[in-house]
Chain A
């Protein structure tokens, strides 16, 4: 009866024709205490399947939100770049302005010097004019 049914299920089982429910019946029978002696060799099989199912995965999985992380890195990099270009430009402009200032100063200095010399010559001219007048008057 019961044993008969188990034997029939076993046969079906090895042909892979059993349903999940029938396989459960076999598992229950073979992991139980009252396995018929001539079928005992199969109990290791079903006991193994049941015990193998008890194994658990216990390791922690580090779930990084890596995408957001990279996004922030790139934002920071762009910020640094923009600041660098901005301040670099400012520095460059200041140096150029300083150079232009120095050049202008030099040019103005040169102008002033020449103007001074010019004035001295005019002073000579004035002397000449005076002497000329004196001569005219004496005549």
Chain B
């Protein structure tokens, strides 16, 4: 038997940041989708990245660091939500985009975007996750299946349900606006 130095060369901070850079925003957006508050999402992302940094030695083992990090973020946020529910704490958020728009039309558009976000907040967790990962982050069904530990076919069904739910509520709102 031949002994090899299979040990990964030590990862530097710069290398780590280079690996993490392309998807750190995705982690944050996923966290924010689940936790709603941007401060909490920032904290969660920070936490996940620090955990990942602590695990950097074994990072070469993971086939897909990005998918792994997304799963970590999802689990971390769901745990947060669970402990929050048991603690009977309310989610507070007051951070919808507030760029000052001068035109009435833009105000309306902005308003309807916020509406979609609010609808998304009301979706069941799985639907919310799948919609986030597909329509915002544009992952493939296989990637989403890996991240959420689901069957690709189930991902498809859940996604269809989520999209239809958003449509339904949007139509409700639309009709209400016309009347």
Contacts and interface: CB of A to CB of B under 8 A. Distances in A.
27 contacts: A13-B163, A14-B163, A14-B164, A20-B138, A20-B140, A23-B138, A41-B170, A42-B170, A44-B115, A45-B166, A45-B167, A47-B113, A48-B113, A49-B135, A51-B97, A51-B113, A53-B29, A55-B28, A55-B32, A57-B25, A57-B27, A57-B28, A61-B50, A63-B13, A63-B16, A63-B50, A66-B54
B47 to A, nearest CB: 9
A14 B167 contact: yes
A32 to B, nearest CB: 13
Interface residues of B, number: 39
Main secondary structure of the interface of B (DSSP, over half): helix
B136 interface: yes
B25 A44 contact: no
Interface of B: 13, 16, 24-25, 27-29, 32, 42, 45-46, 49-50, 53-54, 97, 109, 112-113, 115-117, 120, 135-138, 140, 156-157, 159-160, 163-164, 166-167, 170-171, 174
A62 B17 CA distance: 11
A75 interface: no
A20 to B, nearest CB: 6
The number of chain A residues touching the other chain, given as a range, is 20 to 34
A33 to B, nearest CB: 11
Nearest to B159: A16
B135 A23 contact: yes
A42 B170 CA distance: 8
A22 to B, nearest CB: 12
Contacts of B45: 57, 59
Nearest to B28: A57
Interface of A: 13-17, 20, 23, 41-42, 44-45, 47-49, 51-53, 55-57, 59, 61-63, 66
